Amino acid sequence: MDPDPEHAREFFHQKPRKMVNKAMTLTKAIETFVHDGDYLALGGFGANRTPIAACHEILRQGRKNMGFAGHTASHDFEILCAGEVFDRVDAGYIVGLEARGLSLREEIHADRQG
């Protein structure tokens, strides 16, 4: 959205106030609101409360060239990374889940050693 505060004030002044049902399927939500090149910031902490179904849908719809922001990313990062969805990352920490057997990195490491 345009960062200009005057434009934001005008946008919210013109925005309809009518109560309408905005419920939609996840497929429709990703189709409507997530586009190639967008900067994607996901909630959650590590493996807790991350929108994994949304990550799968973003991947299924073939989104590309996105930015990814994650505070402490894990499954969300790995799913989107494997699908080559993003081309830039801003993350404080990427949680390695290979110790729990949840990441392909463990299998890759084992293949390289044996």
The reported pLDDT for the residue numbered 59 is 95
The reported pLDDT for the residue numbered 47 is 72
Determine the distance from the C-alpha atom of residue 107 to the mean position of all C-alpha atoms in its chain, rounded to a whole number. Answer: 25
Domain that holds residue 91: 35-113
Q: How many folded domains does the chain comprise?
A: 1
Q: Is residue 30 part of a domain?
A: no
Is the pTM higher than 0.75? The answer reads no
Q: Is residue 65 part of a domain?
A: yes
3-class DSSP string for the chain: CCCCHHHHHHHHHHCCCCCCCCCCCHHHHHHHHCCCCCEEECCCECCECCCHHHHHHHHHCCCCCEEEEEEEECHHHHHHHHCCCEEEEEEEEECCCHHHCCCHHHHHHHHHHC
Q: Is residue 13 part of a domain?
A: no
The reported pLDDT for the residue numbered 106 is 47
The reported pLDDT for the residue numbered 102 is 56
Q: Is residue 74 part of a domain?
A: yes
Residues 6+ positions from 102 with CB-CB distance below 8 Å = 47, 75
The reported pLDDT for the residue numbered 57 is 97
Q: Is residue 78 part of a domain?
A: yes
The reported pLDDT for the residue numbered 62 is 97
The reported pLDDT for the residue numbered 37 is 96
Q: Is residue 11 part of a domain?
A: no
The reported pLDDT for the residue numbered 108 is 47
Residue type, 42: L
Averages of pLDDT over runs of 10 residues in the chain (114 residues) are 86 92 96 96 80 94 94 85 92 70 52 52
The reported pLDDT for the residue numbered 93 is 77
